[in-house]
Amino acid sequence: MKESLCCRFRIVPKLSHYDENGSVRMVDVGDKVATKRTARAHAFVKMSKSVLQQLPQNPKGNPLEIARIAGIQGAKKTSELIPLCHPLGLTQADVQIDLTTEGAEIIASASTTSQTGVEMEALTAATTAALTIYDMCKALDKSIEITGIYLLEKTGGKSGDYVRNNERDESVE
């Protein structure tokens, strides 16, 4: 039987989602102290001026409000979509969408008091909102682009706080 590529090379990485043999695992956070955790993420949906002008007349409803609600739902469902994410009891999830001359800028946030962070929940919220805008507007233009998906900031946890700097990423001490 042919061994898969992932199993042929046994590298012992320092990433916490790998065991000492290089196999993936869900991290055990049971002994960690629950602390306040927050995260904010960004996504951008690039649309033509024509699509932007037609947003208010969309026969499916208000794409931005539907995307906002979908993003919040995405944050709540993150552990069902990302295999090694822990299910979290979110204390807050929100999505803000602002129109620019080139599209829709999405900022998603999530909070919890838990043993693990909410970065993936914020990123999933931003991405889900962006995908929903695409879905609501694809009949008008299939060339809509989803770009700029990244973590803006996170607070709490062993690794400390992080704030993205547009020039380069840096951790806040």
Cα–Cα distance for residue pair 173/171, rounded to 1 Å: 6
CA neighbor of 40 nearest in space, from 127, 123, 131, 105: 123
**Amino acid identity, position 144:** I
**Amino acid identity, position 141:** D
CA 93 to chain centre: 12
Give the number of residues written for the chain. 173
Catalytic status, residue 31: no
Cα–Cα distance for residue pair 5/19, rounded to 1 Å: 17
Among candidate residues 135, 141, 161, 169, the one labeled active-site is 135
Cα–Cα distance for residue pair 22/14, rounded to 1 Å: 10
Could you give the residue numbers annotated as active site?
135
